[in-house]
Copies of this chain bind each other. A is one copy, B any other.
Amino acid sequence: MKNNLRLLALASAASIATGAIAIPPPPPPSAAELAQQGDDIAWAITEDLTTEIGPRLAGTEAESAARRWAVARLQAMGFANVREEQFDMPVWVRGEEAASLTGPFLPQKLAIAALGNSASTGPKGVEGDIAYFASYDALLAAPDSQVKGKIVFIDHQMQRAQDGSGYGQFGRGRFQGANAASKKGAIAVVIRSIGTDNHRTPHTGGTNFEKGVTPIPAGALSNPDADQLVRQWKRTLSMRTNETALGYTPEPLRMKLVLTPQNLGMKHSGNVIAEVPGSDPAASPVIIACHLDSWDLGTGAIDDAAGCGIITAAAKHVMSAGQPRRTIRILWAGAEEVGVFGGKAYFEKHGTEKHAVALESDFGADRVWRVDFKLPASAKVLEDRIAAELSAFGIVRGKTPAGGGADIGALVAAGVPAIDLQQDGTRYFDLHHTPDDTLDKVDPVQLRQNVVAWTATLAILANSSDAELP
């Protein structure tokens, strides 16, 4: 569409030229055109950050190195007001991790990853009978006697979905399962990974204990390991019922677990902020966010180096096309994975400032397939314009209001308008929080489509009027 208009303008200029009138130069390329001319900014940020820094767990030296890297990179790209805004947060680090099924069959090792905030088993580990629960709800419904002194296993049936909606529903076993198991007297909890792949790569992620609840060791098994546990569980049950002549003692299913994570106390983390200064200093800024930290098992390519690549490439293209009216503020948040500490710190420092609209990219690197809005009524025409523009890239207009994202969550909750450029999450939970979150999983073609969609949207937002977005 844009390209056609541009050709029309050129043709028109040419036809005027035949009338021997001075030829006006063709209009400079728009931001969206710049993005479409072939963007490698997002890829370069994603590749460089994941290669030169790698995993960057919140509060560690790696995250700190990533901030230094980020400041240097954003300055080199020509952004203004590049700065680090420090905050403190509690740091948890992974230790040794090993699990095995120890009976009634021959011992078999399982692939396991400790969940964030897991307690330590101590170096000698713990061993206990498995208490199987088909779901988090089944655990909640169980009497304490079924759990006390045992290692709880929480199963589930998460399936892949384009919008990632299974995460909230099935993720509860990770978010709250250890807390519930501890309250019922479990010695540890092991969950089936909140993931949709079938590789021996467990999915980590945070688990949370309420105040007053004793943290217990908590880990996630990869899906094939959870399958194996379930098969042995079923056989053990059937052996105990039938006392078959298999030659095995019909004992309960047992597990040995060694997890030695540590809490290191409060440490520095920080947000990295950069800006494209607007021509109207009185206009409220557009804020765009990603997160710089990652889990420690992979290099955090899709979660969320690519997100930082996408939003930064879009801001760069808008800047290259000419100064926008509004300031664009780029937030590379710190310590998102372990509790959205960066987003909270940003809100504490800047929450009372006016923000025109907030957007976040934190759902991988696959194509944007839908756009959701949560804009004031005054932005109706603006919203239609963005939806029409995105339609050219195959993006459908959603019917649900935009939710924002973790790091802009507090802003959106406080009333800042939001737009979600929803990414295709069909394969996101194959990789999410696993060792497999590495650069090779990023598809450069889909990454570029993200940049094009973001640039088109951002160019409109950054040049919107105060009447549209007050």
Contacts and interface: CB of A to CB of B under 8 A. Distances in A.
A231 B198 contact: no
Nearest to A65: B106
Nearest to A47: B231
Given A227-B438, A438-B224, A440-B227, A51 B235 contact: yes
A24 to B, nearest CB: 42
A274 B106 CA distance: 25
Contacts of A47: 231
A200 B436 contact: yes
Contacts of A247: 68, 72
A83 interface: no
A342 interface: no
A435 interface: yes
A372 B435 CA distance: 41
Contact of A106 (B54, B200, B227, B438): B54
Given A51-B235, A438-B200, A440-B223, A299 B228 contact: yes
Contact of A61 (B106, B439, B440, B441): B106
Nearest to A228: B51
A111 B200 CA distance: 12
B105 A54 contact: yes
A201 interface: yes
Nearest to A440: B198
A72 B109 CA distance: 25
A177 interface: no
A62 B106 contact: yes
Interface string A23-44: 0000000000000000000000
A86 to B, nearest CB: 20
Interface residues of A, number: 39
Please give the count of copies of this chain that the complex contains: 2
Nearest to A223: B440
Contact of A435 (B200, B223, B231): B200
A161 B108 CA distance: 32
B111 A435 contact: yes
B51 A199 contact: no
Interface string A50-72: 01111100000110010010001
Contacts of A198: 436, 438, 440-441
Interface string A217-246: 000000110011001100100000000001
B436 A108 contact: no
Contacts of A409: none
Interface string A174-218: 000000000000000000000000111100000000000000000
Contact of A436 (B199, B248, B299): B199
Nearest to A222: B435
Contacts of A425: none
A232 B106 contact: no
Given A54-B105, A231-B47, A200 B298 contact: yes
A272 to B, nearest CB: 16
Contacts of A223: 440
A200 B298 CA distance: 9
Interface in A67-113: 68, 72, 105-106, 108-109, 111
Contacts of A53: 105-106
16 contacts: A51-B105, A51-B228, A52-B235, A52-B248, A54-B108, A54-B228, A55-B108, A72-B247, A111-B435, A199-B199, A200-B298, A200-B438, A201-B201, A223-B440, A224-B436, A227-B438
